[in-house]
A = this chain, B = another copy of it.
Amino acid sequence: MANSKWEYVKEFEQPDKLLPNTWIVVRIDGRGFTKFADKYGFEKPNDRRALDLMNAAAKAVVSELPDITIAYGISDEYSFVLHKSCHLFQRRSSKVVTTVVSTFTAYYIYLWSTFFPDAPLSPPLPSFDGRAVCYPTVQNLRDYMSWRQADCHINNLYNTVFWALIQRGGMDNKEAEKALAGTVSGDKHEILFSKFGINYNNEPEIYKKGSVIFRDYELVEPGSHQAAAEIDGLAEPTQQSKTQAEKDKKKRAKARIVVEHLDIIKDEFWDRRPWLLSNKPGKIPKEP
List residues of chain A with CB under 8 Å of any chain B CB: 1-3, 5-9, 11-17, 19-22, 28, 31, 60, 64, 84, 93-95, 97-99, 101-110, 121, 123-140, 143-144, 146-147, 150-151, 153-154, 185, 227-230, 232-236, 265
Contact = CB atoms under 8 A, between A and B. Distances in A.
Given A98-B101, A131-B98, A232-B233, A9 B143 contact: yes
Contact of A235 (B20, B137, B150): B137
Contact of A154 (B3, B84, B99, B137): B3
A154 B6 CA distance: 14
B7 A12 contact: no
Contact of A105 (B20, B105, B139, B232): B105
Nearest to A95: B129
Given A136-B19, A150-B1, A106 B103 contact: no
A131 B13 contact: yes
Contacts of A123: 60, 107, 110
A253 to B, nearest CB: 14
Given A12-B19, A98-B131, A105-B109, 13 more contacts: A3-B147, A15-B15, A19-B136, A20-B136, A31-B99, A60-B125, A94-B97, A95-B131, A98-B129, A98-B130, A137-B232, A139-B233, A228-B233
Nearest to A14: B17
A182 to B, nearest CB: 15
A93 B127 CA distance: 17
A93 to B, nearest CB: 8
A91 to B, nearest CB: 10
19 contacts: A3-B151, A6-B147, A11-B20, A12-B20, A12-B133, A14-B15, A14-B134, A22-B22, A60-B123, A93-B94, A94-B94, A98-B128, A102-B104, A105-B109, A106-B125, A107-B125, A110-B125, A137-B232, A232-B233
Nearest to A23: B136
Contacts of A99: 31, 127, 129
A232 B235 contact: no
